[in-house]
């Protein structure tokens, strides 16, 4: 509360001192040259489109990214209200939207240029292989709330959409190099140019090396990592109506870390082991956009995604995915704007144990086919009232047919004020582990002496978790300098995953008592909350963006459930988060940017609340060279952000760090 | 205590620095500047013969879709003249009357149907001005584009010539000249 009061006072003070009217000189007296050189304050085109969207959306712009000084995507997402980002160790992050945070968060879909990087093997995104050079990101759109109608399964609580820059916007040479106390070395070399008169391209190579972090007792962990990432993007104007985009990446990384493993010895025992996680991640994507004579648009996208990931839960994982998607966007009559699409995805997954404590999957290899179709119609009901109705229909190899409908009503009361309300259903498709896991997760002393082995089993009857969501929002462009965004939501979750204790049995071959746990769908939850953010250009040179989110969640187990922990999992995500960013041009060539983030404690995980302060000083030498120095987590020597209850990633603390970087464009 | 303190410091320091820095470079609203550009286009563009019935007919500026200018455009051109011509500003409900416009502004709100709207401009003598990134690629004549905090313009000469315009070299020298792919 005191934080809020101080903030209000601080801002009030700032307004009085800094607010100054927009200059009102007669611009018709300006020459063309003058008009081209005046600085304008503007609401971006994306923001204009977004102001008419019937969903809770937040856009991280390229400018936000540059001025954040962040070198990884999870850190960039910390500024988004309603998103909880918690670093577990030096190379693992827990990232969730509106609750259910975990080391592999299974209710958030993550896309890079329309390519899903959510792996169904474990139901989630592996943030350590989601690497896009920050300089090449056009924007990141974060949609809070279900996105199943357009994006399909697993967009249950939201979608994170990373969109890279068109290659015409990255021509020339770009070299960055930097290093600091945590990230000891980082470098990017990129070249962009033309291919004939119709095409452009860029190629890049990036390297990063990150130090070990420290456990809470001060001891160094063995969780350092490094990565090499090469990639390209090429865009072609095939004709005035056809564009083609092709891009690809190859990322290799090696990371350390500690896992709490259960060893099948006599008696079984648990011990912390150092693990080595290696990744080879490759992808290639092509998209052909065609504009028809009548203004309609079609798009055909094909991608191939390959991941070889060794060391996660002691397994060697290999996943190959091919996805083909067609979309057609057309106007039907004067009042209907229709988008429909078809999608086919085939994913071949092979997960083999590579350590004695490894997770086992039955069957080890599996190929899944996903067929889906969606249609969405934006209907103009009145002059400024739009109703969007639609649904996804899909068929997956686990639960068969699924549907994900939604309705959104948008009322643009005036140019400056937009009200919206929506309701949706969305699902999470079962992971391979939900069906076929066999994983020794712990040991338990037996009443009569001896030690029992706790083993988690998959459940072939596991069904899709699903959600019903209701939300409403209001956006205002109060004046050219100030915009506000409010969202409130009420969400009901059904058939949530639980782990149910089963009757213990004696495994004769191993000579020990097994205490089985089995996945079930025996919990439900209700959550509600509010999210707020504002962008305020206090002066032409100073912009601040405050945000706040409240999440109130209650998870309840069904009467038939015996899961002892599930009701406490609502405490895996903070109830309150508050953030404020300040972007300040001290001089024409000197930028000072800060962000302050408050995250309330995680009751279930015994993580206390914390405050992060990050700050960046950027100095431009002419138009082409930028020096920046970034300090992160400046307030405390180190703090804890998350605790992975599965034991797969032993948590370390996030330390205070500094980082210097030179960016050179020519 | 630490968070409180840091917040006060953060804001306090910003306020102080800002106050010391004196008046920053004035920034205009984007649409005031774009309105001024529209007025300037009238000075640097020559409409095809027979566009106007009389030498003192006003130049009609039409806005399709939502009006991002508020009253800025009307206020700006009110009482102004280019040669003997004054200006009128009006919003178009649809494209049926687009042919009578001398300047047709298609705002970003119409991004979804910009291509279809431009296909509906069949008469020469309509200077189409837009602000989405691929406005000229979609068949528009002049596209606004933001480069950082500055407004830039992009002109498709081929489309301009097809619509029978002559554009002064002054304007062309300041614009990025693009060509639609064949």
Shortest distance between the Cα of B15 and any Cα of chain A, in A, equals 6
Q: What is the distance between the alpha carbons of residues A556 and A451, in angstroms, rounded to a whole number?
A: 31
A27: closest chain B residue by CA: B36
A-chain residues within 8 Å CB-CB of B153? 36
pLDDT score for A24: 52
pLDDT score for A15: 39
Q: Would you give the distance in Å from CA A563 to the centre of its chain?
A: 29
What contacts A33, CB < 8 A, 6 or more positions away?
B174
Residue A257 near residue A221 (C-beta atoms within 8 A): yes
Q: Which of A515, A504, A497, A646 is nearest to A558 (CA)?
A: A497
pLDDT of residue A310 exceeding 50: yes
Nearest Cβ partner for B3 among A30, A240, A611: A611
B2, B29, B172, best to mutate vs chain A, most A CBs in 10 Å: B29
pLDDT score for A200: 95
Beta-bridge partners for A410: A386, A420
For the segment A253-274, the average pLDDT, to the nearest whole number, is: 92
Q: What is the distance between the alpha carbons of residues A338 and A189, in angstroms, rounded to a whole number?
A: 42
- Residues 216-245 on A with a CB inside 8 Å of B are 237-240
pLDDT of residue A511 exceeding 90: no
Confidence band, pLDDT 50/70/90 cuts, at residue A376: very high
Q: What is the distance between the alpha carbons of residues A465 and A521, in angstroms, rounded to a whole number?
A: 7
For B96-129, write each residue's pLDDT tens digit: 788 889 999 998 877 777 888 888 888 889 999 9
Q: Would you give the distance in Å from CA A218 to the centre of its chain?
A: 30
pLDDT of residue A287 exceeding 60: yes
pLDDT score for B112: 72
For the segment A475-488, the average pLDDT, to the nearest whole number, is: 91
Copy the structure tokens of residue B82: 């280019």
Pairing of strands B27-29, A39-41: parallel
For the segment A258-265, the average pLDDT, to the nearest whole number, is: 92
pLDDT of residue B86 exceeding 60: yes
Buried/exposed A6-30: b ≥16 CB within 10 Å, e otherwise: bbeebbeebeeebeeeeeeeebeeb
ipTM reported for the complex surpasses 0.85: no
3-state secondary structure of A21: coil
pLDDT score for B1: 46
For B25-39, write each residue's pLDDT tens digit: 557 888 889 999 999
For the segment A479-499, the average pLDDT, to the nearest whole number, is: 94
pLDDT of residue B8 exceeding 60: no
**CB–CB contact B28 A39 (8 Å):** yes
What contacts A245, CB < 8 A, 6 or more positions away?
A113, A233, A234, A235, A236, A285, A286, A287, A289
The chain-wide mean pLDDT, for chain A, equals 91
B125: left (phi over 0), alpha (psi -120 to 50) or beta: left
pLDDT score for B24: 43
B-chain residues within 8 Å CB-CB of A480? 29-30
pLDDT score for A43: 52
**CB–CB contact A10 B119 (8 Å):** no
Confidence band, pLDDT 50/70/90 cuts, at residue A265: confident
Shortest distance between the Cα of A480 and any Cα of chain B, in A, equals 7
The chain-wide mean pLDDT, for chain B, equals 82
pLDDT score for A407: 97
Q: What is the distance between the alpha carbons of residues A362 and A291, in angstroms, rounded to a whole number?
A: 47
Confidence band, pLDDT 50/70/90 cuts, at residue B71: confident
Shortest distance between the Cα of A456 and any Cα of chain B, in A, equals 42
pLDDT of residue B10 exceeding 60: no
For A553-585, write each residue's pLDDT tens digit: 999 999 999 999 999 999 999 999 999 999 999
Percent of chain A with pLDDT over 90: 78
For the segment A246-250, the average pLDDT, to the nearest whole number, is: 98
**CB–CB contact A3 B4 (8 Å):** yes
Q: What is the distance between the alpha carbons of residues A274 and A311, in angstroms, rounded to a whole number?
A: 10
Beta-bridge partners for A456: A439, A517
For B132-167, write each residue's pLDDT tens digit: 888 898 889 999 988 777 899 999 999 999 999 999
pLDDT score for A479: 83
In three-state form (DSSP H/G/I as H, E/B as E, the rest C), the secondary structure along A244-279 is EEEEEEEEEEEEEEEEEEEECCCCCEEEEEEEEEEE
The span from the first CA to the last CA of chain A, in angstroms, equals 49
pLDDT of residue A42 exceeding 70: no
Write down how long chain B is.
182
A-chain residues within 8 Å CB-CB of B149? 39-42
Confidence band, pLDDT 50/70/90 cuts, at residue A47: low
Nearest Cβ partner for B150 among A40, A44, A580: A40
Confidence band, pLDDT 50/70/90 cuts, at residue A526: very high
**CB–CB contact B26 A540 (8 Å):** yes
pLDDT score for A49: 67
Using a CB–CB cutoff of 8 Å, tell me whether A414 touches chain B: no
For the segment A152-177, the average pLDDT, to the nearest whole number, is: 95
pLDDT score for B181: 56
Write down how long chain A is.
666
CA distances from B22 to A539, A582, A587, B44 (A): 11, 19, 11, 37
pLDDT score for A14: 41
pLDDT of residue A51 exceeding 90: no
**Is the pLDDT higher at A547 or at A30?**
A547
pLDDT of residue A427 exceeding 60: yes
pLDDT score for A622: 85
Q: What is the distance between the alpha carbons of residues A181 and A210, in angstroms, rounded to a whole number?
A: 9
Per-range mean pLDDT, top range of A290-294, A329-333, A372-376: A372-376
A-chain residues within 8 Å CB-CB of B76? 27-28
pLDDT score for B16: 44
B38, B92, B115, B142, best to mutate vs chain A, most A CBs in 10 Å: B115
pLDDT of residue A2 exceeding 80: no
**CB–CB contact A32 B44 (8 Å):** yes
A-chain residues within 8 Å CB-CB of B25? 39, 540-541, 588
- The DSSP 8-state label assigned to residue A450 in this structure reads S
B4, B8, B12, B15, best to mutate vs chain A, most A CBs in 10 Å: B15
Shortest distance between the Cα of B7 and any Cα of chain A, in A, equals 7
Confidence band, pLDDT 50/70/90 cuts, at residue A384: confident
pLDDT score for A480: 76
């Amino acid at each position: 509360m005191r934080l809020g009061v101080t903030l209000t006072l601080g801002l009030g003070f700032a307004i009085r001192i800094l607010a100054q009217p927009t200059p009102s000189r007669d611009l018709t007296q300006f020459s063309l040259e003058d008009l081209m050189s005046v600085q304008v304050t503007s609401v971006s085109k994306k923001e204009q489109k977004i102001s008419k969207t019937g969903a809770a959306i937040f856009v991280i712009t390229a400018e936000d990214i540059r001025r954040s000084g962040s070198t990884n995507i999870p850190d960039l997402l910390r500024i988004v209200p309603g998103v909880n980002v918690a670093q577990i160790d030096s190379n693992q992050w827990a990232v969730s939207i509106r609750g259910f945070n975990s080391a592999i968060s299974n209710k958030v879909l993550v896309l890079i240029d329309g390519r899903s990087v959510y792996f169904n093997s474990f139901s989630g995104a592996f943030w350590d292989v989601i690497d896009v050079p920050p300089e090449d990101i056009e924007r990141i759109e974060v949609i809070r709330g279900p996105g199943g109608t357009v994006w399909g399964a697993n967009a249950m609580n939201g979608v994170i959409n990373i969109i890279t820059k068109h290659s015409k916007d990255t021509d020339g040479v770009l070299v960055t190099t930097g290093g600091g106390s945590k990230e000891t070395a980082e470098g990017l070399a990129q070249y962009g140019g033309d291919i004939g008169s119709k095409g452009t391209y860029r190629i890049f190579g990036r390297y990063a090396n990150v130090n070990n972090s420290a456990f809470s007792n001060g001891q160094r962990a063995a969780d350092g990592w490094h990565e090499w990432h090469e990639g390209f993007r090429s865009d072609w104007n095939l004709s005035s109506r056809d564009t083609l985009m092709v891009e690809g990446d190859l990322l290799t990384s090696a990371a350390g870390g500690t896992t709490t493993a259960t060893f099948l010895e006599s008696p079984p025992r648990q011990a912390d082991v150092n693990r080595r996680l290696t990744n080879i991640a490759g992808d290639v994507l092509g998209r052909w956009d065609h504009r028809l004579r009548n203004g309609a648009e079609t798009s055909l996208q094909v991608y191939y995604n390959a991941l070889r990931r060794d060391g996660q839960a002691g397994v060697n994982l290999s996943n190959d995915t091919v996805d083909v998607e067609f979309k057609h966007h057309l106007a039907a009559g004067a009042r209907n704007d229709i988008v429909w699409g078809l999608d086919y995805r085939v994913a071949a997954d092979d997960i083999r144990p590579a350590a004695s404590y490894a997770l086992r999957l039955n069957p080890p290899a599996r190929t899944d086919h996903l067929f889906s179709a969606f249609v969405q119609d934006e209907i103009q009901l009145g002059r400024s009232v739009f109703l969007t109705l639609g649904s996804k229909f899909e068929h997956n190899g686990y639960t068969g047919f699924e549907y994900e409908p939604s309705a959104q009503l948008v009322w643009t009361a005036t140019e400056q004020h937009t009200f919206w309300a929506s309701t949706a259903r969305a699902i999470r498709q079962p992971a391979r582990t939900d069906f076929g896991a066999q994983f020794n997760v712990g040991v338990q002393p037996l009443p009569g002496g001896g030690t029992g082995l706790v083993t988690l089993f998959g459940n072939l009857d596991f069904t899709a978790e699903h959600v019903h969501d209701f939300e409403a929002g209001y956006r205002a462009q109060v004046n050219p300098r100030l915009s506000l965004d409010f969202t409130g939501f009420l969400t009901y979750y059904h058939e949530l995953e639980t782990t149910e204790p089963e009757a213990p049995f004696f495994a004769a071959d191993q000579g020990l008592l097994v205490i089985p746990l089995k996945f079930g769908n025996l919990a439900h939850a209700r959550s509600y909350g509010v999210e707020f953010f504002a962008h305020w250009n206090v002066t032409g040179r100073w912009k601040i963006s405050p945000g706040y989110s409240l999440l109130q969640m209650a998870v309840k187990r069904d009467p038939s459930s015996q899961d002892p922990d599930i009701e406490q999992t609502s405490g895996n995500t903070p109830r309150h988060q508050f953030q404020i960013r300040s972007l300040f041009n001290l001089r024409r060539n000197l930028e000072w940017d800060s962000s302050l983030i408050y995250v309330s404690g995680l009751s279930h995980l015994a993580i206390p609340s914390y405050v992060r302060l990050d700050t960046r000083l950027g100095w431009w030498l002419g138009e082409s060279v930028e020096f920046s120095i970034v300090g992160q987590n400046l307030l405390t020597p180190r703090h804890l952000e998350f605790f992975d209850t599965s034991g797969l990633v032993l948590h370390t603390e996030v330390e205070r760090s500094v980082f210097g970087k030179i960016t050179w464009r020519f | 205590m630490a968070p409180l303190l840091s917040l006060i410091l953060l804001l306090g320091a910003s306020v102080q620095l800002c106050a010391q820095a004196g008046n920053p470079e004035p920034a205009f609203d984007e649409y005031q500047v774009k309105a001024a550009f529209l007025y300037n286009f009238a000075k640097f563009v020559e409409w095809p013969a027979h566009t106007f019935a009389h030498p003192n007919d006003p130049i009609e500026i039409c806005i399709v879709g939502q009006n991002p200018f508020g009253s800025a455009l009307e206020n700006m051109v009110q009482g102004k003249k280019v040669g003997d011509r004054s200006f009128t500003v009006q919003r178009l409900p649809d494209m049926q009357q687009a042919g009578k416009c001398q300047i047709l502004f298609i705002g970003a709100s119409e991004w979804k149907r910009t291509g279809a709207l431009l296909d509906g401009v069949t008469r020469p003598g309509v200077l189409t001005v837009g602000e989405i990134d691929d406005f000229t690629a979609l068949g528009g004549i002049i596209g606004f584009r933001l480069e950082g905090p500055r407004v830039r313009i992009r002109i498709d000469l081929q489309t301009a010539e097809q619509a029978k315009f002559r554009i002064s070299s002054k304007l062309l020298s300041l614009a990025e000249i693009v060509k639609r792919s064949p």
